[in-house]
Amino acid sequence: MDIGFIGLGLMGRPLALHLARAGHTLHLWARRPASLEPFKDVDARCHVSAAAVAKHAEIVFTMVADAPDVRAVCLGADGIAAGARKGLIVVDMSTINPNAAREIGAALAERGIDFLDAPVSGGEVGAINASLTIMVGGRPEVFAKVQPLFEKMGKSVTLIGASGAGQVAKACNQILTGVGVLAVAEAFNFAARNGVDVAKVREALLGGFAYSRILENHGQRMLDRDFKPGFKAWMHQKDLRIVMEEAHRLGLMLPAAAATAQLFNAIVGSGMGEEDSIAALKLLEKLSSADQ
């Protein structure tokens, strides 16, 4: 199959390579030529624009930073819509505002282009190992066509609902992981400041109702003081901003997410944006001490 892929960063690159290795022909376009280097040895053709990619592909995947990027790639000058034939499927794997996803989907539908929002969870490691969780929103018949490709990229692939539903699921994922990381960091700081062995607290709690994968995995990295990403704090900050925008649009109260979003602002503001989200622990330590 001729497949377009736009957005060849940390996440997009390994996913595109999985599709090439499965025997598909890739059509690529990138702002920076260096992004195309890893595709020299696979069946991949480079084009001058997103529109040109769309002209040659049956399905185009996008994996970019935020809603304005998705909008520009899909609907901008020389964007996908400008080159697409009727029946093209656009699959956006970026994490963006659910409402923005619905709007982009509707704008593409007006031009006879199908759209799925398919954000992922699992980070760079999950992308490389093709073990991502993929949460999809869109029409079932469109999902059915893309599903075999999703299965080359992820282990858990779920059609959540209509357009935007994948982004809603991802937003819920970010609420739980954001609040969860902060909760573990608070518990660890609380134990440490009480002079209690944090490793033993974690071990004991893993056996009870406070068990979570975050307590297990992120907790261990906090103990090891291994702050390498993983998932970068600035991306979590961005995702929580999306959550709060959507909550505001709907008139929803999310007090724990709101507090967490503020602390992620503080993590990024303190210059720890490029570290893993577990830098939350360092922030709490700093704010609970006389350190400046």
CA quadruple 53, 58, 63, 68: dihedral, nearest 10: 70
Q: Which of 40, 155, 170, 200 is catalytic?
A: 170
* 125-153 as b/e: b if 16+ CB within 10 A: ebbbebebbbbbbbbeebbebbeebbebb
The minimum distance between CB 70 and another protein, in angstroms, equals 28
Hey, what are 50's tokens?
Answer: 């997103």
228 in active site: no
Judged by beta carbon, residue 109 or residue 287, the one nearer another protein is: 287
Q: Does 290 bind another protein (CB under 8 A)?
A: yes
**Restricting to residues 71-100, which ones interact with another protein according to CB under 8 A?**
none
Binding of another protein at residue 287 (CB under 8 A)?
yes
Residues 6+ apart with CB under 8 A from 174: 95, 236, 239, 240, 242, 243
Report which of 2, 32, 84 is spatially closest to residue 13, judged by C-alpha positions.
32
Report the nearest approach of another protein to the CB of residue 59 (Å): 42
Q: How far is the CB of 270 from another protein (least distance, A)?
A: 5
- Site size toward another protein (CB under 8 A) is 14
Interface map 245-274 toward another protein (x if CB under 8 A): ----------x---x-----xx--xxx---
Q: How far apart are CA 87 and CA 109, in angstroms?
A: 10
- Judged by the rule CB under 8 A, the positions of this chain that interact with another protein are 255, 259, 265-266, 269-271, 283, 286-290, 292
Catalytic annotation, residues:
170
